[in-house]
Amino acid sequence: MVWREEQNNCYWKDDQTIIAFENKKKTGAGYYLMHDKTQEYRHLWPHISSDGHPSYSPDRRLVVTDTYSNRKRMAILKVLNEDFNIVIAIKKILYVFGLHAADAGRVGGV
pLDDT of residue 34: 94
Position 26 pLDDT exceeds 50: yes
Full-model pTM: 0.72
Burial degree of 90 (CB within 10 A; 0-12, 13-18, 19+):
exposed
Q: Quick one: which of 43, 48, 31, 36 has its CA closest to 2?
A: 36
pLDDT of residue 95: 64
Mean pLDDT, range 54-68, rounded to an integer: 89
20 within 8 A of 34, measured Cβ to Cβ? yes
For 15-43, b where at least 16 C-beta lie within 10 A, e where not — what string? eebbbbbbeeeeeebbbbbbeeeeeebee
